[in-house]
Amino acid sequence: GGARSTFNSAWMQGFFQSPHSGLEYGLVQVAGGPCGVLASVQAYMVRHMLFVENRMDIAGINEATFNRALLHALADILWQAGGDKSAKVAVKGSHSMTGEDQDLMRSLKYKPDGLTEMLSVVVCSSRAEVLDALAAHQGVLTERAGP
């Protein structure tokens, strides 16, 4: 099946800014499903804006501030998940798997979904590398429809 048949659209959405006045710091949830993920990322974003950027007023932030907070939040989460030692960032690439790769995946009872087989993994050995990897793919992360 395709990516949409394995991952429903709620789980495929990107991280994008609320258009509502006074709520520009907020992430938008399109449909039920990923609320826990979005809430966690939102909490890290608010933490970054309040305690790293020392912003006491986060309402009405511009797109650049929102995107910077998002990238730092995701970098913090991934770096923390790697025990502050390493992290892996899976990003959508423009290539597809070779026939040999597809054969290997089938032998592992992997079900192609149109997304997973397009992922490239960036191995990062510092939080700065995680931030750089995320920044290089920011456009995909913030697309309303996701990857």
Domain count across the chain: 1
- 36 occurs within a structural domain: yes
Question: Cα–Cα distance between 80 and 47 in angstroms, integer?
Answer: 15
Q: What is the mean pLDDT of each run of 10 residues along the chain (147 residues)?
A: 63 92 95 94 98 94 97 98 97 68 67 76 96 94 82
pLDDT score, position 44: 99
For residue 146, is it within any domain? no
114-125 pLDDT tens trace: 777 778 899 999
Rounded CA separation 97/135 (Å): 24
Please give the Cα distance from 37 to 39 (Å, whole number).
5
> Looking at the domain assignment, is residue 92 inside a domain?
yes
Q: How far is CA 8 from CA 32, 87, 109, 112, 113, in A?
A: 10, 26, 21, 15, 11
CA 67 to chain centre: 11
Quote the pLDDT of residue 75: 99
In a domain, 120, yes or no: yes
pTM of the shown model: 0.85
User: Residue 147 domain-assigned?
Assistant: no
